[in-house]
Structure 1
Amino acid sequence: MPQELINELKGNFQHYSHYYRGNDRKGLIQELSRYGELRESKIECEDFTLEMTADLPDRIGRSYYYEADIDNIKIIYDHLKDRLDLNAASDEKLWDGMSHSWFWDYIQFREAKKLKSDKDADVSKAYLLPVKKLGIRRARDIHCLSRLWWAGYYTYDEENKENPYALTEFYFSGALPSRMLLLSSRNFIANKNICIGTLRSLKKRYEQGDGDVLERYHAETAFKYLNGIGGATSLDFLDSQEIEELVDNVMDKKYGKV
């Protein structure tokens, strides 16, 4: 999506919000044509679609998308992991363009609750990365489309030849949005080795019987510890195995060995 279109949409969103609420992509693109058109990206990959199925509502009536989220992380990362470098994957023009073209219907499905909101800001966040308000890193990690690729990037373990998505399935099995928010709030997350090492340690504790599900406080303990020692220790020079051992030690001291 050209920057001119992004600026127009964000600057005058109230004028366009009814197109999103009414699922009228054709009308929106036609009106926006006065300011320019979506451009074909130079990034090439095979066509793919995302799953649009949701789990049944739980006993308190909330509808979850957990199963589809995990599948969609794998789909989008498999197709684009060798096509996007980190700069391209951090470009709001790419994700805003994809949101308004190939994946319009997916966002209508995944962000149905936001699109019913009477607040234009909520509707805007469904389709446009809120970069100005949150910064590009936080914005890309919470947007319903871009976060799929980044969730794959953070958790895809190339050393696990049997199932490189084992950490993905483990960490995001509870809830993708809240777990991504927890990751993106940490400065060290830019280093994939730190994320992989941390999640290996947490997964190991989980599998050895520390609980039926990964508890948020376990993840927060590990992330807070690494954040704390980051000022005194150059974590960027440690490999994933060394990070895993650090987290093992702090978790054993905090919660006991399992």
Structure 2
Amino acid sequence: MKLYIMKREALEMLKANLPTIYGKYYTEKTNHWISDIYGENPFIEFNDVPEFNLAELNSDLTPGEIDLNNCKILYEKLLFLSESQASDERLWAGLTHSTFYDYMRKRWGYGYGKKPKSAEKEAGAIQTRFFYRYTGRSGLYRNTLSKCWWVGHNTYDPNNNQNHFENLDIIGSNDLNSKINEFFYNFSFSSNPDVMTAIIDALRQFKKDGRHILVREHIRPAMSYLNAVGGSVVIDCLEKDEITRIFSDAVDAIMQGDIPTLNFEKNISVEEEDTDYSVNEDIGAVDPSDVPKVTLGCKVIICNRDGETKTYKYDLINGTLPKAVEVFTDCKVGDVIEMMGKEWKVEDLIF
């Protein structure tokens, strides 16, 4: 099986023209139309691997079970990828438009019964699923194939010879997209494997005790609490057992109707499991003028050249906008602002 990356020029050309070419994803059973539009072969051969198939779509599997299986398949079959290679949009755009083009069309119903919506909505959905909508973590965990590789990467245990993906099985397929959003996208500290292992240890104990915890009711506020703790101490420096205890205690408190001491704003809601949680149907996301601006209620994710990442809630407190977040007014993704004597780039907005 040959794997291809997409040429940068072809990638940019397709993304720029999605509002006018999105119909091709519905009408064309093969990817030959890309060469016709681009004028030459848009792909470069990247690697040759043993043949493999992604999770069966024509089955009784739920969307969450399909994605969970694909997390295992893609990471195990593409285990050789470096983090740098797996961060490259050209790789995933190449795979979604070549080797797995028909699979992607079936997965999202293009040409298989799904009815097109407005050009703006279709362009936004296709950009998210087949390309990277924005840079950084947003692209990694929202592209249909990329998110599966990265979730597999962050849960794979090479030392567990009985089941390398036991951690992923503990997370489970139920409401998987919401869990991906909470565990891997919203909070950068979870990219530390020790932190993620500590959280999964807590989930394992809850499962062993027969206690059913839900994403919106328990996991989301507990992760926010852990993030708030990170404002006082460096999470990465805590012992694994201590992180497990903090997370477990937060969930226990929430279950009992208590509010953890360091309560933090709840995260955004995500789409239901049978849709792509990453697609905000109200944003076209192709024309630069359509890139969303900071607005009340959204979260602003910023990063600097030192690799530091911070998240701010842009909202009123007691009817007043805090001075600390006024700097984000009218900012868009990609804008650079100055805070705390450093330059910070607006990496993403979460609505």
Distance 1:128 1:52 in 2: 22
Normalising by structure 1, what TM-score? 0.83
Distance 1:37 1:141, change over 3 A: same
Q: Highest CA radius of gyration, 1 or 2?
A: 2
Partner of 1:104: 101
- Looking at secondary structure, tell me which structure has more helix per residue: 1
Partner of 2:116: 117
Partner SS, residue 144 of structure 2: coil
Partner of 2:207: 206
In the alignment, which of 54, 62, 69 is matched to residue 71 of structure 1?
Answer: 69
Distance 1:190 1:246 in 2: 18
Distance 1:248 1:85 in 2: 33
Distance 2:33 2:196 in 1: 39
Partner of 1:197: 198
CA-CA distance at 1:47 after TM superposition: 2.8
Distance 2:147 2:165 in 1: 16
CA-CA distance at 1:206 after TM superposition: 2.4
- Looking at secondary structure, tell me which structure has more strand per residue: 2
Q: Is the 8 A contact 1:126 1:143 kept in 2?
A: yes
Q: How does 1:1-258 map to 2 (within 5 A)?
A: 1-34=6-39, 37-41=42-46, 43=47, 45-53=49-57, 56=60, 64-81=62-79, 83-112=80-109, 116-118=115-117, 119-121=121-123, 122-131=125-134, 135-183=135-183, 184-211=185-212, 214-238=214-238, 240-255=240-255
Q: Is the 8 A contact 2:199 2:243 kept in 1?
A: yes
Distance 1:54 1:238 in 2: 45
Normalising by structure 2, what TM-score? 0.62
Partner SS, residue 249 of structure 1: helix
Aligned partner of 2:122: which letter?
A: D
Aligned partner of 2:56: which letter?
A: M
Gaps of 5+ in 2: 1-5, 257-351
1:99-151 Cα shifts (integer Å, max 9, x gaps)? 111111221122227963323322333322212xxx33112201211111111
Gaps of 5+ in 1: 57-62
RMSD: 2.5
Q: Is the 8 A contact 1:141 1:180 kept in 2?
A: yes
Distance 1:137 1:18, change over 3 A: same
Moved more, 184-193 or 95-104: 184-193
Q: Is the 8 A contact 1:2 1:39 kept in 2?
A: yes
Moved more, 20-29 or 227-236: 20-29
Percent identity of equivalent pairs: 27
Distance 2:193 2:168 in 1: 13
